[in-house]
Chain A
Amino acid sequence: MNPFSSGTRLRDMIRAIRACKTAAEERAVVRKECAAIRAAISENDQDYRHRNLAKLMFIHMLGYPTHFGQMECLKLIASAGFPEKRIGYLGLMLLLDERQEVLMLVTNSLKQDLNHSNQYIVGLALCALGNICSAEMARDLAPEVERLLHGRDPNIKKKAALCSIRIIRKVPDLAENFMGPAASLLKEKHHGVLIAGVQLCTDLCKANTDALEYLRKNCTEGLVRILKDVSNSPYAPEYDIAGITDPFLHIRVLRLMRMLGQEDADSSEYMNDILAQVATKTESNKNVGNAILYECVETIMGIEATSGLRVLAINILGRFLSNRDNNIRYVALNMLMKAITVDAQAVQRHRTTILECVKDSDASIRKRALELVFLLVNDGNVKPLAKELIDYLEVSDQEFKGDLTAKICSIVEKFSQEKLWYIDQMFKVLSLAGNYVKDDVWHALIVVISNAPDLQGYSVRSLYRALQTSYEQESLVRVAVWCIGEYGEMLVNNVGVLEVEEPMTVTESDAVDAVELALKRHSSDMTTRAMSLIALLKLSSRFTPTSERIKEIVTQHKGSVALELQQRSIEFNSIIQRHQNIKWVTDLLVVNNIARHPLKILVVESMHLLLGCWCMCRSSLVERMPVLDEAAYLGKRAGSSQPTLSAEKSSKPTTSAASLKLPNGVAKPPAAPLVDLLDLSSDDAPVLPSAPNDFLNDLLGIGLPNSSSSGAAPSTTTDLLMDLLSIGTSPAQNGPSDSNVVPSSAKAAESKPAPVTAPVMDLLDGLPSNASPPRDENLVYPTITAFESSTLKIAFSFEKQPEKPQVTLISATFTNLSSSTLTNFIFQAAVPKFVQLHLDPASSSTLPANGNGTITQSLRVTNTQHGQKPLAMRVRMAYKFNDEDKLEQGQISNFPPGL
């Protein structure tokens, strides 16, 4: 005998492994055993093959690789004796999964065994087939299994029925073949066969509507009879569980009834009586009874049951909900979620109980209950519910706070009827769980505050107050810092005090203290610090007495290790140094404001001459931010199906069009935000034009390199704006010049007519009047069809300025070739690393059918390896077509040469 296939028995090996004290020891034992088994395999040892495979299975269970034993399974299956086959099939099911090609080799053995004269061998083959067969095997062996369904032995029949389920799941086309045999299985008496048969019918119904119709017609009566028999059956010891005969059969029949009765009044009516009987007569003091009741309720909810029956079902759920057993309460909550579509009123009755479940100590129950509460909220009960949830937020477990906060925020946003209430609730959430509030939620809050002039004073004071107690909540600190920066004077002067407010005195230096604390606090992250710096800068012009102190604070950060903070402090420092200038310009702007429109152009022009635009931009920088476009922001928010804070509450109509023509008499959409900022003094607050990807982020000054979510396609509009606010993102986007220290105003003014070099030109990039040379100098490229599918066509036309050969302006025109309108149209593009891409907002997101209109969108592409590498681009279009979300993508490589 081979010394390696040593005679350690399975039992001995398990003992040896269990005796191991360390993982290393265990590995050593396993390694030795595996070596012995490999040796035995290569010697084709027959005597111990089954023992070796058993050992391998144990080793496999411990998590060691055992692929080398796979072929042994096949050999054992192919051998003649029952013991070998038994262990072989077990190994097959354990060591292999359906994706392994080895499995195909077993098809033939399976076929032979399915035709074997020994019923137990047939049983083994059916079991293996039912547990691991792949689609190919299912196709090959389906006829054998179908034949076995007609056999006599109940053991084979039930196994064949369940095996058919797997076959249908793998190959739904085969469902038709099993319809007839499945229906005849329901006439059996043997419970095992019945259970398998009912299960097979259920799966057939799922797979195939024809089968559903067929079974509805032929089996409804039979099913009702089965349920009647089993629920009225006298004590049957073989099937009895806690006084109920075969609950498993009960449950499966009820489930199949649900499939058959769904949206079918006739068969539903047929079931009503027996369902009522089961619902009233089943004992509910044991788990088994409750399992049946649960299934029964679900069936009543699923079919076209009578209203009386539905009331019965809802009452059962109410009983479940007040049960002390956690399992029962869990399923009740689960079921109520489905019941809410059937009878919302009845579910509302249990609101208090459900709310109690949100506070349960069991995470599974809490989660279910919270989801249910979310469905229960409506305009009428939102206030008490939100209050309850927010109160609970204070004491809830840490790991539950995330879920809870998200749900509260979305409830508050979805159902708020007045801004004050919304703002109040959000402040509460921020102070209790600000660390769990998602970015888009507090962004939305800021948008709302900026659109509510009469609540700004209240907001900044409440936030200041909240800040004193909840300094550790990051999002609260951010919102507070932003508000103090914007509305600091309202805080100090108590502007717009509401009746509900308690009087409060805050000095200017208190306000600066608060922001300074946020800046210096150890746990503040970069975003918060950067926001604090901006707030300080703004305060420096508003609270003149504190200006020196602010300068000091800002100076301390000039040496910050974080590039972003360092850059901001250096820039802000030089702004504050020129504070006098700023004041002067501000005065001028005040004059300008009085002078009103006709004179304004003149004043602005003269300011150009006097100061150069740099100074002016900086000055407007410390002014209050323009009102954020609420509708656009909300529309932009991900999955914005929720009608958050209805549109009529949002800001006034866009007024930028009038102010567009102001400074240089030239209007061009991308320049609009710049113009808006320049034109801050106009009293009708200008609104930013349509929402570019990240504009709020950028406006808030949190366009940090890592938080920029716009990915490959930042929009030019945002860039421009960021340039303006000099809170540039990564240098790659804005060119190296941007990270330089801000130049003196004199130099800036001097360099105004000159191209690019100074950052000023970045500022003015969007103003075509200064920079762009006459059109006829542009190079001409042919227009190409970049992409074409059955629904969509995209044409690209190109434009290039001779002095910037790397930069190409592409205007993309989208045409809808299909016969229905495309909505929610979004175009995305990606380019290789050596190319930079700026994507402007599209002209629309709706594309009319049959080419009756187009969307245009312009792209600015900078090829850093111009002349060496050609341009390439990948595009992706997402849109809604006949209410279905579609995605198309393509690659564009037919760019004209020379781009």
Chain B
Amino acid sequence: MINFVLLISRQGKVRLTKWYSTYSQKERTKVIRELSGVILSRGPKLCNFVEWRGYKVVYRRYASLYFCMCIDPDDNELEILEIIHHFVEILDRYFGSVCELDLIFNFHKAYYILDEILLAGELQESSKKTVARLIAAQDSLVETAKEQASSISNIIAQATK
């Protein structure tokens, strides 16, 4: 099971955190500080796994961003690397060659996407197309709701003129 997902920038800034196991707010800050110290200092040629407090953290660097997932000791590390890549590819398709800035300004969208890929710390969907379709459908629901709202407010505005 994936216990948490972390996105950390090269400078140690947190870009996304998702906790599937229970950690109090205080523990969360501590975990992030500890792990970013360990992971950011590792050389480029080393393996992508770090043993940490009896768990394993699988990380992979994409440009300036480190994608980290903390898993149980008997989970398949190589598969987690694929899950990370799966997530990145979906982000890439959604934003159109994603960059760190996309994830900063649209952090909520990154969360929506992650919620379609992982649930309860387990993989939910292996098809990128399906994820893209589900996200698009929900985005359009939001759009229509917004349009409706603005048209209603227009009507009200006109009526009260």
A residues in contact (CB < 8 Å) with B: 11, 14, 18, 54, 57-58, 61-63, 65, 81-83, 86-87, 90, 93-94, 97-99, 120, 123, 126-127, 130-131, 155, 158-159, 162-163, 165-166, 169, 191-192, 195-196, 199, 238-239, 241, 246-249, 251-252, 255, 287-288, 290-291, 294-295, 298, 326-331, 334, 361-365, 367
Contact = CB atoms under 8 A, between A and B. Distances in A.
Contacts of A11: 105
Nearest to A65: B25
B120 A57 contact: no
Contacts of B94: none
Given A83-B141, A131-B120, A162-B122, A97 B22 contact: yes
Given A11-B105, A14-B104, A361-B46, A327 B81 contact: yes
B161 interface: no
Given A288-B82, A364-B51, 16 more contacts: A62-B14, A82-B145, A83-B145, A93-B115, A99-B22, A127-B115, A159-B119, A159-B124, A192-B124, A248-B123, A294-B78, A330-B49, A361-B43, A361-B45, A364-B46, A367-B51
Nearest to B83: A248
A65 B26 CA distance: 10
A362 B82 contact: no
Contacts of B128: 238
A90 B81 contact: no
Contacts of A248: 79, 82-83, 86, 123, 126
B116 to A, nearest CB: 8
A249 B134 contact: no
Interface string B98-111: 00000011011001
A83 B79 contact: no
Nearest to A251: B79
A806 B102 CA distance: 76
Contacts of A291: 76, 78-79, 81-82
Most buried by A among B22, B111, B115: B115
B155 interface: no
Contact of B112 (A58, A90, A159, A249): A90
Interface of B: 14-20, 22-25, 29, 43, 45-51, 76-79, 81-83, 86, 104-105, 107-108, 111-112, 115, 119-120, 122-130, 134, 137-138, 141-142, 145-146
Nearest to B144: A82
Contacts of B79: 247-248, 251, 291, 295
Contacts of A364: 46-47, 49-51
B47 A166 contact: no
A428 to B, nearest CB: 28
A83 B134 CA distance: 15
B47 A362 contact: yes
A130 B119 contact: yes
B141 A158 contact: no
For the complex of A and B, the 10 pairs showing the least CB-CB separation, nearest first, are: A291-B78, A326-B47, A130-B120, A162-B119, A166-B120, A362-B46, A248-B126, A83-B142, A192-B125, A291-B79
9 contacts: A83-B142, A93-B18, A97-B24, A97-B25, A130-B119, A241-B86, A291-B81, A294-B78, A331-B77
B131 to A, nearest CB: 9
A131 B25 contact: no
A242 B82 CA distance: 11
B125 A195 contact: yes
A163 B120 contact: yes
A244 to B, nearest CB: 10
Contacts of A63: 14, 29
B8 to A, nearest CB: 11
A98 B51 contact: no
